[in-house]
Chain A
Amino acid sequence: MANLGAPGKTASDITDELPTFNVENMQNNAKIIYYSRTFMSIIGGVIAGILGFTGLTGFIFYFLVMAITSVGLAAKAGFSVHSYFDGWNRIILDGFLGGLLSFVLFWTFAYDLVHIF
Chain B
Amino acid sequence: MAEDLVLDTAIRDWVLIPLSVVMVLIGILRYFVSKLMRSSNQVPDPKMVKEGQVIIRARNLRAAANYIPAKSFRARRVYFSNEENGLLYVPKGQAQNAQAQMFSDPNMAMDMMKKNLSMIIPQTLTFAWVNFFFSGFVAAKIPFPLTQRFRSMLQNGIDLSTVDVSYVSSRSWYFLNLFGLRGLFSLILGEENATDDTQRMMQMSGFGFDPTKSLGAEKDSLDIFQHEWALPKFEQRAEAVLKKLVVSVPTPVAETVKTEKVKTVEEASKEEKVAATPAPEVVTEEQKQVTKEEVAEEQVQVTEEEVVTEEQKQVTEEEVAPEVTEKQEEATEEEVAAPPAEKPAAPEAETKELAEEAVPEEAVAKDETKEPVEEKIEAEVPKEAAIEETKEEAPKFAEEEKPAAKE
Contact = CB atoms under 8 A, between A and B. Distances in A.
Contact of B273 (A15, A98, A102, A116): A15
Contacts of A38: 183-184, 186-187
B44 interface: no
Contact of A15 (B144, B272, B394): B272
A117 B6 CA distance: 8
Interface residues of B, number: 37
A3 B369 CA distance: 48
Contacts of B142: 104, 108
**A-side binding surface: helix, strand, loop or mixed?**
helix
A58 interface: yes
A14 B240 CA distance: 13
A117 to B, nearest CB: 6
Interface string B28-47: 00000000000000000000
Nearest to A105: B180
Chain B binding surface, main DSSP class? helix
A39 B49 CA distance: 37
Interface in B1-36: 5-7, 9, 12, 16, 20
Interface stretch (A17-25, A69-77, A78-86): A17-25
Nearest to B271: A14
B231 to A, nearest CB: 7
A13 B273 contact: yes
A30 to B, nearest CB: 11
Contacts of B12: 112-113, 116-117
A110 B90 CA distance: 56
B78 interface: no
Contact of B179 (A41, A42, A105, A107): A105
A42 B271 contact: no
Contacts of B16: 109, 112-113
B150 interface: no
A34 B176 CA distance: 20
A96 interface: no
Contacts of B183: 38, 41-42, 98-99, 101-102
Given A13-B273, A109-B16, A56 B144 contact: yes
B145 A55 contact: yes
Contacts of B187: 35, 38-39, 42
B394 A23 contact: yes
B273 A20 contact: yes
Interface residues on A, range: 35 or more
A108 to B, nearest CB: 5
A106 B84 CA distance: 59
B144 A58 contact: yes
B275 interface: yes
Nearest to A95: B183
A102 B182 contact: yes
Given A18-B230, A35-B187, A102-B182, A117 B9 contact: yes
Nearest to A41: B183
B143 interface: yes
A41 B184 CA distance: 10
Nearest to A25: B397
A54 B143 contact: yes
A18 B200 CA distance: 37
Given A20-B67, A117-B12, 4 more contacts: A22-B397, A101-B176, A105-B176, A116-B141
Interface of B: 5-7, 9, 12, 16, 20, 66-67, 140-145, 176-177, 179-184, 186-187, 191, 230-231, 237, 241, 271-275, 394, 397
8 contacts: A18-B231, A38-B186, A48-B143, A102-B181, A108-B143, A112-B12, A116-B140, A117-B12
Interface of A: 12-15, 17-18, 20, 22-24, 31, 34-35, 38-39, 41-42, 48-49, 53-56, 58-59, 98-99, 101-102, 104-109, 111-113, 116-117
